[in-house]
Amino acid sequence: MTIDLIKKHASVRKYKPVPLSAAEVKELVIAGQHAASSNFVQAYSAIHVTDPTKKEALAKLTVNAQQFSTAGAILVLCMDYYRIEKGANLTEKIDYQNAEDLLVAATDVALFTQTIAIAAESKGYGICYIGGVRNNPTEISQLLGLPKGVAPMYALTIGVPDEQNEVKPRLPVEAIFHENEYDGEKYDTLIPTYDETMNEYYQSRSSNQKNSDWSESMATFLGKPRRLHMKEFLQKQGFDFK
């Protein structure tokens, strides 16, 4: 069942040397196109990176050498208003510089990519999102020839898994599911219990064990600003947050 497949997801960071054919990759991208899209804007594009030199450059720019060297297919997923602007200019000018337009494109590309991911996993492949694309978005945009109106959000590696990672325990559904109104008081009991679960998971998983928990990980992750260059980069690409 699809629900069982979704619940088995775990990121794969090492693949067997089995390439996906161009037809297989295109099939997955077509599946991704059937994700929901706000007002049918379809504000996304996928760059299938097959050139060895570009793969090597992406590996360095994203700091993900193992994934890019072993994956059977590599996609770079982008927000894209350039295509829409080209079409709309046949009748009138468009303006995609509002914060809402940024949210529309970010949501579109996320739904598109996740649908590709589920389609790939349904065929027995493993996948992993690589947010490291946003470490050096200007250089990656130049590498891939991205015009104004297009911005890379993440890469997706796809391939035959050469590792089997445990599924991370998610937050208890009660922590993210509310009825009629938001209930923040329940976190006082739910979060400490979840921290215990995550600490046990981190210390017992088959690789990269550590003595930590969810709250500590989030404090580290959000404890200082990250990728401060993204605002300037997005503005340069035409996403100006008015």
Tell me the pLDDT tens digit for each residue of 133-185. Answer: 999 999 999 999 999 999 999 999 999 999 888 999 999 999 999 999 999 99
Q: What is the mean pLDDT of residues 33-59?
A: 96
Domain check: are 161 and 181 in the same one? Answer: no
Domain check: are 121 and 156 in the same one? Answer: yes
Q: How many domains does the chain have?
A: 2
Domain check: are 55 and 132 in the same one? Answer: yes
Domain check: are 185 and 151 in the same one? Answer: no
Q: What is the mean pLDDT of residues 102-109?
A: 96
Q: Tell me whether residue 242 is in a domain.
A: no
Domain check: are 159 and 125 in the same one? Answer: yes
Owning domain of residue 197: 173-218
Residues in the chain: 242
Domain check: are 43 and 137 in the same one? Answer: yes
Domain check: are 198 and 124 in the same one? Answer: no
DSSP 185: T
Predicted pLDDT at 119: 98
Distance CA 28, CA 17 (A): 19
Give the global pTM. Answer: 0.94
Residues 116-125 have pLDDT tens digits of 999 999 999 9
Distance CA 207, CA 193 (A): 23
Residue with tokens 């200007």: 138
Predicted pLDDT at 90: 58
Task: Please check the confidence at residue 89 and state whether its pLDDT lies above 80.
Answer: no
Domain check: are 96 and 194 in the same one? Answer: no
Give, in order, the Cα–Cα distances in Å from 67 to each of 46, 58, 197, 236: 18, 10, 29, 29
Residue 65: pLDDT band (50, 70, 90) is confident
Residues 185-219 have pLDDT tens digits of 999 999 999 999 999 999 998 888 899 999 999 99
Task: Please check the confidence at residue 20 and state whether its pLDDT lies above 70.
Answer: yes
Q: Tell me whether residue 204 is in a domain.
A: yes
